[in-house]
Structure 1
Amino acid sequence: MTDVFAPTTLGPLTLRNRVIKAATFEGRTPDALVTDDLIEFHREVAAGGVAMTTVAYCAVAPGGRTDRHQIYMRPEAVPGLRRLTDAVHAEGAAASAQIGHAGPVANAASNRVPAVAPSRFFSPLGMAPMKVPAIGEIGELVAAHAEAAKLAVESGFDAVEIHFGHNYLASSFLSPILNRRKDVYGGSLENRARFAREIARAVREAVGDRVAVTAKLNMEDGIRGGFTLPESLQVAAWLEADDALDALELTAGSSLLNPMLLFHGAAPRREFAKTLPAPTRWGFRMVGKAFLREYPYEKAYLLERARQFRRELSMPLVLLGGITDLESMQLAMAEGFDFVAMGRALLREPDLLRRIQSDAATESACVHCNECMPTIYSRTRCVLRLDPPRPLSADHTN
């Protein structure tokens, strides 16, 4: 069996093991720039033993953020990002920047620019119609991804992860329920996949072999009429044939319509409602059960979907979802996956991987309550962890 703790390669990188810290928005950038708190978050995870930690979320444009406190890639962000990557490297780990555009998931009211979607929809966050990009503007969005990747290289990142999941912009183009265009970017699956494929090729051309290039791809949206698993298998095959990516991280769910398909476990509806302003909170109480569905938690809960990709693809794959102990890691290796990604378990215990290496019987303390999810609006954290929250800005939730 492949040893999850043995050194391995990812594109041009040599990594100390096969465990990646998944991208989870940290909520520690009140001015859309790196803070000491964000650096410490990733330094601590790196010191905890992961091979690579992923910084989320590095938007390719100001309007591509889920709110205006997130980092967007521009020259002013580079010095802080360089300090972050230096801190991660000092702990022996690599650093990846997740780049992308939130599209219909963007908070237009917070960003103060319209949200973008492949077709015309009303934005409940912006309380206004979303902007539909013309073909020329789509080209500008592709170029923005390439420029963001160049800035990531300048910032010292070892990898970039392109966000093709969760109905962010590229993912929304893949979804037939969200993409009703009649031009070359809509209709057939090949047309709907055109935007994602153009982004991957543009990013690879921009960075060459200086860093690894990966993508987070939805296996399905989990909504009727959305992007399906058979469609995703075909898109993954096209991405593999394009030869622009070093690996795919497989995910599922829609931040717009069904976020819990990614997380599994308890649905923190009451906690989410508390983070919302009064009018939205009242509406959420009416639709919260339909929006935050409940999926029972089990180890490696995305494996059944993901193993179909492993059967049909030869490129490296990253298994995400319910990876919390040595047993689930070894299961992923036995199934032929090249890497595993961990998220919530590392919020609870940043040193979990070191502890597993010391004692193979170590179990994660994460109870999958998912109450960490609403904390993205203040400072992302495990609410059961003993160290207290330190909000960075009084208006951080605005």
Structure 2
Amino acid sequence: MPHQPPDAFQPAMLGPVRLRNRIIKAATFEGRTPDALVTDELIAFHRAVAAGGAGLTTVAYCAVAPEGRTDRHQIWMRPDAVPGLRRLTDAVHAEGAAISAQLGHAGPVANAASNRVPAFAPGKRFNPIDMRFTHAATHADVRRITDAHANAARLAVEAGFDAVELHFGHNYLISSFLSPALNKRSDQYGGSLAHRARFARQTADAVRGEVGDTIAVLAKFNMDDGVRGGFGLDESLEVARWLAEDGNLDAMELTVGSSLLNPMYLFRGDVPLREFAAAFPLPQRWGIRLVGKRFLRSYPYRDAYLLDEARRFRAELDLPLVLLGGIASRAAIDTAMADGFEFVAMARALLHDPDLVHRLRDEANATSLCTHCNQCMPTIYRGTRCVLTNPANATRS
């Protein structure tokens, strides 16, 4: 008898958590936490997505340590943050959705000048964003940051989150340890693939040990850095198998790209170079205008553009998988379900229209009206939004 794919708009289990559907709002830094704490604006942002029908919305970015932020305005997980996070989770639950906290450490992507503390990476590396060198993480740093992930997960439970998503992608700290282009170490955290994967596996184990089965644990995991000599599909598949066999994850959200070296490999579509440059102060603005085309490369957009790579993971892994990338139509969702993916995640489409999930559910031919202009990307510094549907705040500082 032919396999009947699941209906993406019916309830589903994500580990111990029952979601009302299989649609996840992917993590996109909201730019609404000027004091590194929850604001009413952040609550309104996620309440709108929840009211619009998403099964799970993901809060980004909840750093596990103060130096793990891309700038000092991001939330970092500490007791002072819990009351506001509880207000946020309560608001989302009141709309019928579940809520996840993306936990991670920015590592070489962190802005040390903004954070006013050194940034860490597998080794010393110059960061042109903050014009400083990262520090090579010591074994003590790795242990501290691993423990910080577990502590952050415990605080997420206290704050009422249904899930945590571990950030193992985009060349943030743990992803940078996986990359042979960024990790030149010769100790137990560098060299062989097994050594480079040790940090990720230890972190997932520590988090699961802390939260047990009280909440779902996902990982956002790079299939391909999109960088010459970086972490690619063959190595990624092997590490994904190890993570699945370890039994610490309830699902894996598959992603690509490097926030450090090739961010457009994830986003695809238009490259808003002028808008990006304008979001930075001098002299970074000049630098982005001069070399931005080499950093912000152009990749064409198409629906479900990560599907081909993700199918290799679906064929190899006995673990629920979340398909990300160009999920902007009912057709793309139906294809993902037919191909065996348990969940789909969308970001830009929900920035354009937070009510899109209801429309996709009710209309067989529904599609997002997002144009993939990517002008939402530079707005992360002053309140992430779609400039097509929310132009009034375009000049907000």
Q: Which bracket does the TM-score occupy, shorter chain normalised?
A: over 0.9
Equivalent residues in 2 for 1:183-262, closer than 5 Å: 183-262=187-266
Query: Taking structure 1 as reference, are residues 76 and 390 closer, same or farther at Cα in structure 2, changes over 3 Å only?
Result: farther
Counterpart AA for 1:87: A
Q: Residue 69 of structure 1 is aligned with which of 61, 69, 73?
A: 73
Q: Which residue of 1 aligns with 2:327?
A: 323
Task: State the alpha-carbon separation in 2 of the partners of residues 375 and 260 from structure 1.
Answer: 16
Task: State the alpha-carbon separation in 1 of the partners of residues 390 and 17 from structure 2.
Answer: 35
Q: Residue 167 of structure 2 is aligned with which of 163, 173, 179?
A: 163
Displacement, 1:6? 1.1
Q: Is the 8 A contact 1:115 1:126 kept in 2?
A: no
Q: Which residue of 1 aligns with 2:383?
A: 379
Q: Which residue of 2 aligns with 1:78?
A: 82
Task: State the alpha-carbon separation in 1 of the partners of residues 34 and 340 from structure 2.
Answer: 40
User: After superposition, what is the alpha-carbon deviation per residue over 1:319-353, rounded to whole angstroms, capped at 9, x for unaligned?
Assistant: 00000111000000011000000000000000001
Unpaired segments ≥5 residues, structure 2: none
Displacement, 1:126? 2.7
1:335 matched to 2:339? yes
Counterpart AA for 1:120: K
User: After superposition, what is the alpha-carbon deviation per residue over 1:12-56, rounded to whole angstroms, capped at 9, x for unaligned?
Assistant: 011111000000000000000000000000000000001000000
1:88 matched to 2:92? yes
Q: Percent identity?
A: 66
Counterpart AA for 2:381: Y
Displacement, 1:388? 2.7
Task: State the alpha-carbon separation in 2 of the partners of residues 316 and 345 from structure 1.
Answer: 23
Displacement, 1:58? 0.2
Compute the TM-score of the two structures, normalised by the length of structure 1.
0.97
User: After superposition, what is the alpha-carbon deviation per residue over 1:206-227, rounded to whole angstroms, capped at 9, x for unaligned?
Assistant: 0000000000000010011110
Q: Is the 8 A contact 1:120 1:131 kept in 2?
A: yes
Counterpart AA for 2:191: G
Q: Which residue of 2 aligns with 1:121?
A: 125
Displacement, 1:128? 2.1
Q: Which residue of 1 aligns with 2:181?
A: 177
- Where 2:136 maps in the other structure, the secondary structure is coil
Task: State the alpha-carbon separation in 1 of the partners of residues 165 and 81 from structure 2.
Answer: 18
Displacement, 1:132? 1.1
Q: Which runs of 4+ in 1 moved over 3 A?
A: none
Displacement, 1:244? 0.3
Task: State the alpha-carbon separation in 1 of the partners of residues 262 and 132 from structure 2.
Answer: 21
User: After superposition, what is the alpha-carbon deviation per residue over 1:207-251, rounded to whole angstroms, capped at 9, x for unaligned?
Assistant: 000000000000010011110110000000000010000000000
Task: State the alpha-carbon separation in 2 of the partners of residues 290 and 106 from structure 1.
Answer: 21
Displacement, 1:391? 8.3
| Structure 1, 26-35 or 270-279: larger mean CA deviation | 270-279
- Cα RMSD, aligned residues only: 1.1
Counterpart AA for 1:64: G
| Structure 1, 119-128 or 191-200: larger mean CA deviation | 119-128
- Where 1:388 maps in the other structure, the secondary structure is helix
- Where 2:384 maps in the other structure, the secondary structure is coil
User: After superposition, what is the alpha-carbon deviation per residue over 1:151-191, rounded to whole angstroms, capped at 9, x for unaligned?
Assistant: 00000000000000000000000001110111000000000
- Where 1:337 maps in the other structure, the secondary structure is coil
Unpaired segments ≥5 residues, structure 1: none
Task: State the alpha-carbon separation in 2 of the partners of residues 391 and 378 from structure 1.
Answer: 9
| Structure 1, 112-121 or 155-164: larger mean CA deviation | 112-121
Q: Is the 8 A contact 1:379 1:391 kept in 2?
A: no
